[in-house]
A and B are shown apart, each in its own frame.
Chain A
């Protein structure tokens, strides 16, 4: 295939050169050029011979197959004829591929002067595009000049999803009896595959490899073309409960997740489950209001369903409004309800009585204020966020635990690559609302580029049992592959 494609291209260039057409590279000295031409001629001769031989065998095969009269054998000996045929058959790809087409005789822009400067080497595409490429340039509208500037190098992988891999390396130093994290660990390698499925949907997959094994962190389809301002996601995903739960580890502004997330909302894994999420955008020009209803199978760190008929539900209303072009406010309230595995292992069934299913309700409020002066957007930014979460966990014997926790976090960008912030933490325990943990953190992040970040965090934790932890955490976050979207 390569051989066949190669022949006409080279021969076109060849036939142009001696025909005294001025080529852009005339500055190259003559002997060199001659040697080059000689070399090319030899190559072409060789190719032609191969081509000839192949055509002949093909023709013979054809003759065997067909008994009818055929003009084919005739064309075989006239190789140039078949080359011409190929030329006219595929003019676009030839015109753009052959080097000669970039010469001064090529079509130019509407204004002479602009075109006369000629294309620089930068626009010339790689010499030999993969043979599987479609004709690289769409024909421009009639009144527009054909320009040799379309990105052809991308088309070979046009249907591959955007891929990226993100590594998250975390180290811990200091003392904390409750935290048994190793001194250093590659806590997660996340592989993301994202692409548009068809005109109606896109798909996002996030596979997460951690010391616990490989798992699907998220994998869902998003239907983007539903009527009535609806957006439907189906698959496994992080539930839209509050802010932190929806964030991947590498998107967090801190190394760890807040205490309240650890205690009440499933920690690192969080509320992430197989299910469906339907979002409705209340359309009005004044304020952004997004209403989300989700239903999950009930297999997460937060909810555990033993039966098919018992599902977990999440609801969220989010309101957002720009205050000025530099600042905005983002408010949300979330609700989650579902069965838990609490008590299933505690209460052994006596006399065949099944342990009752114990449910959990979560209610959350979150508020975020962002300030980012547009003129200085790449240097200055200030965010504050708080999340308050109430949890009501049913316990055996008609008891329940009502736990409350919250955090407040502020982060300030003081230079193009530097962020500093602080967080206050407080949360009761899920199963015992009389026990409350407190904590606080200071953190600083250095972003060499968008694709890597280095973070240090000092964390103080005072546990309900009277134990305190003083730790220094550090994190290296690095990503390769497709450019992901910035988080907001």
Chain B
């Protein structure tokens, strides 16, 4: 008798669930063979590389805009809508998206793109990562990334490796198009290699040029193009400029004769400009991501823009 009552209560308890489940149990139409693969990428850089490889066989949705600080993206529900039916999610990894991506993935109701799923690609898996901290890491160092600097896409060789990873993943997901992706990749690889020759030639005269950057966004870029980053406007990663650090920075820049300050487009230029006035250095707003400025509309054009911006400024400053 008691059990009966319990059953009844159970039924009662589950009634709303059942009702909802039944009412909504129609499945949205699945992807047909010809339909393009749905790819979501957390940043425009990854989106751009996916487009290079995937061509018209994929559609790409991107979350963080190129002119936006990728650490501080809001987990908007509209992103969930893009994730629900995504076949592939490409992430920068190295905890860049830790503040906003996990809840989106949880809410996505998409088994494919869960961590470890077939449709989850961490682009940082086979690239060259710099600044992996060793020893004790604490937040006294600021907002450090324990798995290394996540701005690794700013080395064209890493871009190539990301494109390879995307090619392999896309081929795994759509084996029938593997040849297409391989061909697209080869084409991109060729164009990138040509562009790299161009960039290296442009930057060669400026090897070792000292610069200051706002955030630690540029270690890979600096390593690749021979820039010497001697200081940061931020006293520590993620910590806004402080007067005492700014004074030190000005002194250091004067001592070392640094003439260029690189600022990502999403940071306030007030402090860098003040530093520039005191040191005679020029402030360059340099996009670290595709879409950061209009001209940087794809991965190669991003470097075209940045390299050209630097070379022009260095020439002007007689460096």
Using a CB–CB cutoff of 8 Å, the interface residues on chain A facing chain B are 109-111, 113-114, 117, 120, 122-126, 138, 140-141, 143-144, 147, 149-151, 153-154, 196, 199-200, 202, 222, 224-231, 276, 278, 280-285, 288, 290-291, 293, 295, 308-309, 311, 313, 315, 318, 320-322, 325, 328, 330, 370, 372, 374-379, 416-417, 449-451, 480, 483-486, 488
- Checking B103, B132, B196, B267 against A122 with a beta-carbon cut-off of 8 angstroms, the contacting residue is B132
Decide: A126 near B134, CB < 8 A? Known: A109-B157, A375-B67. yes
Residues facing A in B204-239 (CB within 8 A) are 223-224, 238-239
Across the interface, which residues of A come within 8 angstroms of B147, CB to CB?
Answer: 151, 154
Write the nearest CB–CB distance from B52 to chain A, whole angstroms. Answer: 17
Say yes or no for B295: interface residue by CB 8 A criterion.
no
- Checking A222, A311, A320, A377 against B9 with a beta-carbon cut-off of 8 angstroms, the contacting residue is A311
CA distance A123 to B130 in the complex (A): 6
- Checking B26, B27, B106 against A224 with a beta-carbon cut-off of 8 angstroms, the contacting residue is B106
Are A125 and B134 in contact, with the CB atoms below 8 A? yes
Are A485 and B103 in contact, with the CB atoms below 8 A? yes
Residue interface mask B62-81, A partner, CB < 8 A = 1: 00010111001111111011
Report which residue of B5, B73, B81, B240 has the largest number of chain A beta carbons within 10 angstroms of its beta carbon: B81
Are B114 and A224 in contact, with the CB atoms below 8 A? yes
Say yes or no for B243: interface residue by CB 8 A criterion.
no
Top-9 shortest CB links A-B: A225-B111, A309-B9, A288-B77, A151-B147, A320-B77, A149-B129, A293-B16, A374-B68, A322-B78
Which of B92-100, B173-181, B252-260, B303-311 lies at the binding interface? B92-100
Across the interface, which residues of A come within 8 angstroms of B239, CB to CB?
Answer: 449
CA distance A486 to B161 in the complex (A): 31
Are B69 and A149 in contact, with the CB atoms below 8 A? no
Are B21 and A230 in contact, with the CB atoms below 8 A? yes
B interface secondary structure, majority: loop
Query: Can you give 16 A-B contacts (C-beta < 8 A)?
Result: A123-B130, A151-B132, A153-B134, A199-B117, A228-B21, A278-B17, A284-B81, A291-B24, A309-B9, A375-B68, A377-B72, A378-B69, A450-B238, A480-B139, A485-B103, A486-B100
CA distance A120 to B20 in the complex (A): 58
Are B27 and A228 in contact, with the CB atoms below 8 A? yes
Write the nearest CB–CB distance from A450 to chain B, whole angstroms. Answer: 7
Write the nearest CB–CB distance from A145 to chain B, whole angstroms. Answer: 8
Minimum CB distance partner of B219 in chain A: A122
Are B98 and A483 in contact, with the CB atoms below 8 A? yes
Decide: A328 near B76, CB < 8 A? Known: A226-B109, A230-B21, A375-B67. yes
Across the interface, which residues of A come within 8 angstroms of B160, CB to CB?
Answer: 110
Write the nearest CB–CB distance from A418 to chain B, whole angstroms. Answer: 11
- Checking A109, A229, A311, A480 against B13 with a beta-carbon cut-off of 8 angstroms, the contacting residue is A311
Are B109 and A230 in contact, with the CB atoms below 8 A? yes
CA distance A416 to B9 in the complex (A): 53
- Checking B8, B105, B142, B268 against A379 with a beta-carbon cut-off of 8 angstroms, the contacting residue is B268
CA distance A40 to B231 in the complex (A): 38
Are B98 and A283 in contact, with the CB atoms below 8 A? no
Across the interface, which residues of B come within 8 angstroms of A231, CB to CB?
Answer: 106-107, 109
Are B117 and A451 in contact, with the CB atoms below 8 A? no
Are A283 and B81 in contact, with the CB atoms below 8 A? yes
Using a CB–CB cutoff of 8 Å, the interface residues on chain B facing chain A are 5-6, 8-9, 12-14, 16-17, 20-21, 24-28, 65, 67-69, 72-78, 80-81, 84-85, 94-95, 98-100, 102-103, 105-109, 111, 114-117, 125-132, 134-135, 139, 142-143, 146-148, 155, 157, 160-161, 164-165, 168, 196, 200, 223-224, 238-240, 265-268
Write the nearest CB–CB distance from A323 to chain B, whole angstroms. Answer: 10
Write the nearest CB–CB distance from A339 to chain B, whole angstroms. Answer: 13
Decide: A322 near B76, CB < 8 A? Known: A114-B157, A375-B68. yes
- Checking B8, B12, B126, B131 against A147 with a beta-carbon cut-off of 8 angstroms, the contacting residue is B126
Are A144 and B240 in contact, with the CB atoms below 8 A? no
Minimum CB distance partner of B160 in chain A: A110
Write the nearest CB–CB distance from B285 to chain A, whole angstroms. Answer: 11
Are A308 and B9 in contact, with the CB atoms below 8 A? yes
Are B134 and A144 in contact, with the CB atoms below 8 A? no
Are B20 and A278 in contact, with the CB atoms below 8 A? yes
Write the nearest CB–CB distance from A140 to chain B, whole angstroms. Answer: 5
Minimum CB distance partner of A113 in chain B: B200
Across the interface, which residues of B come within 8 angstroms of A150, CB to CB?
Answer: 125, 129
CA distance A374 to B291 in the complex (A): 13
Decide: A141 near B266, CB < 8 A? Known: A229-B109, A375-B68, A485-B103. no
Are A283 and B114 in contact, with the CB atoms below 8 A? no
CA distance A313 to B239 in the complex (A): 45
- Checking A153, A278, A417, A450 against B240 with a beta-carbon cut-off of 8 angstroms, the contacting residue is A417
- Checking B69, B76, B85 against A283 with a beta-carbon cut-off of 8 angstroms, the contacting residue is B85
Across the interface, which residues of A come within 8 angstroms of B80, CB to CB?
Answer: 281, 288
Across the interface, which residues of B come within 8 angstroms of A370, CB to CB?
Answer: 74
CA distance A228 to B27 in the complex (A): 6
Write the nearest CB–CB distance from B9 to chain A, whole angstroms. Answer: 4
Are B69 and A377 in contact, with the CB atoms below 8 A? yes
CA distance A91 to B239 in the complex (A): 42
Write the nearest CB–CB distance from A446 to chain B, whole angstroms. Answer: 12
Are A416 and B240 in contact, with the CB atoms below 8 A? yes
CA distance A284 to B268 in the complex (A): 38
Are A281 and B9 in contact, with the CB atoms below 8 A? no
Given contacts A144-B161, A222-B106, A416-B240, 12 further A-B contacts (CB under 8 A): A147-B127, A153-B134, A153-B146, A278-B21, A280-B20, A280-B24, A281-B109, A295-B16, A309-B5, A320-B78, A377-B266, A480-B139
CA distance A278 to B106 in the complex (A): 14
Across the interface, which residues of A come within 8 angstroms of B268, CB to CB?
Answer: 379, 416
- Checking B17, B116, B161 against A295 with a beta-carbon cut-off of 8 angstroms, the contacting residue is B17
CA distance A372 to B129 in the complex (A): 32
Write the nearest CB–CB distance from B310 to chain A, whole angstroms. Answer: 18
- Checking B21, B84, B126 against A281 with a beta-carbon cut-off of 8 angstroms, the contacting residue is B84
Are B78 and A375 in contact, with the CB atoms below 8 A? no
Across the interface, which residues of A come within 8 angstroms of B161, CB to CB?
Answer: 144
CA distance A408 to B318 in the complex (A): 58
Across the interface, which residues of B come within 8 angstroms of A293, CB to CB?
Answer: 16-17, 20
CA distance A291 to B273 in the complex (A): 50
Decide: A124 near B134, CB < 8 A? Known: A114-B224, A199-B116, A295-B13. yes
Minimum CB distance partner of B193 in chain A: A111
Across the interface, which residues of B come within 8 angstroms of A308, CB to CB?
Answer: 6, 9
CA distance A282 to B24 in the complex (A): 8
Report which residue of A140, A154, A293, A320 has the largest number of chain B beta carbons within 10 angstroms of its beta carbon: A293
- Checking A109, A229, A280, A372 against B128 with a beta-carbon cut-off of 8 angstroms, the contacting residue is A109
Decide: A485 near B98, CB < 8 A? Known: A109-B157, A293-B20, A416-B268. yes
- Checking B103, B107, B131, B132 against A125 with a beta-carbon cut-off of 8 angstroms, the contacting residue is B132
Write the nearest CB–CB distance from B319 to chain A, whole angstroms. Answer: 21
Are A483 and B157 in contact, with the CB atoms below 8 A? no
- Checking A224, A282, A379 against B111 with a beta-carbon cut-off of 8 angstroms, the contacting residue is A224
Across the interface, which residues of A come within 8 angstroms of B240, CB to CB?
Answer: 416-417
Across the interface, which residues of B come within 8 angstroms of A486, CB to CB?
Answer: 72, 74-75, 99-100
